Structure 1
Amino acid sequence: MTICSKCYYDNNYPEITFDKNNVCNYCIQIESLANEYGTGREKGIKKFQQIINEIKVNQKNKKYDCVVGVSGGTDSSYMLHLLKEEYKLRVLAVHYDNTWNTEISTRNIYAMINKLNIDLITHVVDNKEADDILKSFFMSGVAEIDGPTDLAVAFVLRTAAKKHGIKYIFEGHSFLEEGITPLTNNYFDGKFIESIHKKFGEMKMQNYPLMTFRKFVTSIIFDRVKLIRPFWYINYQKEMAIEFLSKNYDWKYYDGHHLENRMTAFYHLIYLPKRFNKSLKINTIAAKVRNKAISRKQAEELINKEDKASKDIEVYFKKRLNLSDNEYGYYMGAPLKNWKDFPNDKKKFEIMRPLFFVAQKFNLVPKSFYLKYCFKK
């Protein structure tokens, strides 16, 4: 077995390669991104300040400077503080409620916006429709069970930005803290979501904010909203952010990455590990080893540590979707499916790659999106 000399990945990790010094391609990619964006260094801080200055000039006659998607999690909560208190931006917070929020996440959202005096828009999907969509993905056997939520969040943010004349959306991703997911993992688009729901769902899709390929491209060409990821430029450490938020706001940690939402928690803690023998927490753990925050021995302990919330989340999932133990067991053990097994718009993204190449150069789509969606797999 070959193990990366910088992080925790070994040669069982998808699409991994190693150089002559046993450094994996993911570490090399992260180092390349850090150099390109100047992450945490003077270069990155200057670049980000230039973005802030541009926003203040271009949005001066508008009510808001930017949109921030909020979930009650660490990254989005800290970003609210950062943009409002340190960079003095007029922030509009936007939340997509798939009705699977934990009490902690809702509490954290209001703790932040109330103390910072930030306006909030919440799009609440019909809970029965949301459950029908999510159940259809569970029945389909694909890995992307949380895809409908992720796509809805993106569309709701773009819709809010367009309505209020805002040209900047901030996202809380950090490749240093979270690592990079293999490009072949998890694909979804509007047509993919619609086709799975049509085959396995029982209700009509009416309230769910479906972002089709046409709506997405129209938004890019005509709305020209820039997607900014502050943590790609400035120094950001999640553990320090957790400590800061807990100390300075009425904010509570939820004991794990992405565990502020019950569906996302099910996806991370149970569905991927038990159904597909995969775990996304290895990305975060490998990042900690790469950053020298923990040792390899500590990483192994974290990988093997059983999450306390797993049992409760599984019980909640079955009850919420009205699944008997037999039904749940059947679908968890059914043949696995791939995104290629259902109609999707992947070919359209590949054909229109030149458009998305230009779009990512101007921050109209993330670079990671361009690499993942616009090349053949």
Structure 2
Amino acid sequence: MQDNENRPYQQCTRCIMDTTDPEISFDEKGQCNHCTEYFRLAPLYIYNGEETDRAREALIAKIKEAGKNSDYDCMVGVSGGVDSTYVAYMAKKFGLRILAFHFDNGWNSELAVKNVENIVKKLDIDYQTWVVDWEEFRDLQISFLKASVANAEIPSDHAFLAATYHLCSKYNIKYFLSGSNFATEGILPKSWGYNAKDVKHLKGIHKLFGKTKFKTYPLLGFNREFYYTYVKKIKMVRLLNYIPYVKEDAMKVIQDELGWVYYGGKHYESVFTRFFQAYYLPHKFGYDKRLAHLSTLICSGQMTREQALEEMKKDTYPPELLAEDKEYVIKKLGMNAEEFEAILNAPPKSYKEYPNDEKRLKFIYKVYNKLRGR
């Protein structure tokens, strides 16, 4: 881990990112590299009127053309969260034939399950669930927790990507519509996590700390991704970048139209993710992802800096819910309180302290993106 203890605390004067990101930098105005980079890239990824409308219309036409010999035009991952729900809603409005896909890693909240059920029922779309083998997945999650790395969500993120490509290939679907978007997710420090696609890293940590063997856990190495992308011609599209995406407005639409219910925070539709983001990361690493989420909303004009600072003062994790979630997480992982406290109190480590393919993957993806014209 990069030592940040001796650095004076500083917070951006434009957004609210601060020196809890050890790699943050500031200019002479006190504005950080994150919001500066956001504004540099915004013209490429933010909706800008008629030009984006034309691009979206062309994209929808391509998706329909690619799906004309299949049962579906596209697949949409639905978690029960606002972004993926709104993608499904808009894709249906654009006349696309959708296969909804839900990745079940065993941590869904009851509210998330109800949201997903409402989405597929009210939009009248087909639905496929990928359920992980719990014993394999639990062992991998515990391995990442024992490794003391910041991105303990890699087991979920990696499997989701692998399952997505697998199902698109199985159903001959050429387009996967992702809920990822620049307007509300354009800022996230690299120092707070690591590439979920790095199979060497995932296998390396599992080999050091795991007890079971992979039998059904879906893996996605670069070779496999290359096959899906160039041979099967599967494309991932961030549909929300093609529309004027304002989160509060989107939430109201899906509440009114789909009976969607808010779950209290970004990605809190998962019990583990709620505990991970609201307690584990801040407690163990000092990382509060709300800083990045709210800073992005400031940059996209959906919130003022003053509003964001007030939001940061709120307790989004009531003590009763924290205690309940912590007990549930410990029990579900098959651990005892002492074992879990030992993990929480172990010194944080960098992903670089474990096997990884970072240098090779950076080079490969640089070439890969050039070939794709990105």
Judge same fold: TM > 0.5, yes or no. yes
TM-score (norm 2): 0.90
Alpha carbons 2:21, 2:191 under 8 Å: kept: no
RMSD (Å) for aligned C-alpha atoms: 2.0
Residue 256 of structure 1: CA displacement?
0.9
Report the secondary structure of 1:92's partner residue: strand
- CA gap of 1:213–1:57, structure 2 versus 1, over 3 A, is closer
Residue 355 of structure 1: CA displacement?
3.1
* Alignment pair present for 1:178 and 2:185: yes
Aligned match of 1:238? 247
Structure 1 segment 1-377 matched on structure 2, within 5 A: 3-85=11-93, 87-187=94-194, 188=196, 189-306=198-315, 307-308=317-318, 309-358=321-370, 360-361=372-373
Alpha carbons 2:80, 2:269 under 8 Å: kept: yes
- CA gap of 1:34–1:44, structure 2 versus 1, over 3 A, is farther
- CA gap of 1:64–1:54, structure 2 versus 1, over 3 A, is same
Residue 28 of structure 1: CA displacement?
2.5
Alpha carbons 1:102, 1:261 under 8 Å: kept: yes
Percent of aligned pairs sharing the same letter: 34
Alpha carbons 1:220, 1:359 under 8 Å: kept: no
- CA gap of 1:177–1:351, structure 2 versus 1, over 3 A, is closer
What is the one-letter code of the residue matched to 1:224? K
Residue 323 of structure 1: CA displacement?
2.3
Report the secondary structure of 1:170's partner residue: strand
- Which is worse superposed, 280-289 or 113-122? 280-289
Using the alignment, how far apart are the partners of 1:115 and 1:223 within structure 2? Answer: 31
Residue 304 of structure 1: CA displacement?
3.0
Residue 128 of structure 1: CA displacement?
2.0
Q: Cα deviation per residue 1:7-61 (whole Å; 9 max; x = unaligned)?
A: 2224554433344544332223222322123524222222122111111222222
What is the one-letter code of the residue matched to 2:100? A
Alpha carbons 2:12, 2:32 under 8 Å: kept: yes
Report the secondary structure of 1:361's partner residue: coil
Using the alignment, how far apart are the partners of 1:324 and 1:93 within structure 2? Answer: 37
TM-score (norm 1): 0.89
Using the alignment, how far apart are the partners of 1:267 and 1:96 within structure 2? Answer: 18
Alpha carbons 1:65, 1:168 under 8 Å: kept: yes
Report the secondary structure of 2:128's partner residue: strand
Number of aligned residues: 361
Q: Cα deviation per residue 1:249-280 (whole Å; 9 max; x = unaligned)?
A: 13211111100011211211111111101011
Question: Any stretches of 5+ residues in structure 2 without a counterpart?
Answer: 1-8
Q: Cα deviation per residue 1:94-135 (whole Å; 9 max; x = unaligned)?
A: 111101111111111111111111111111012222211111
Q: Cα deviation per residue 1:316-356 (whole Å; 9 max; x = unaligned)?
A: 11111122222111111112221112222223313424432
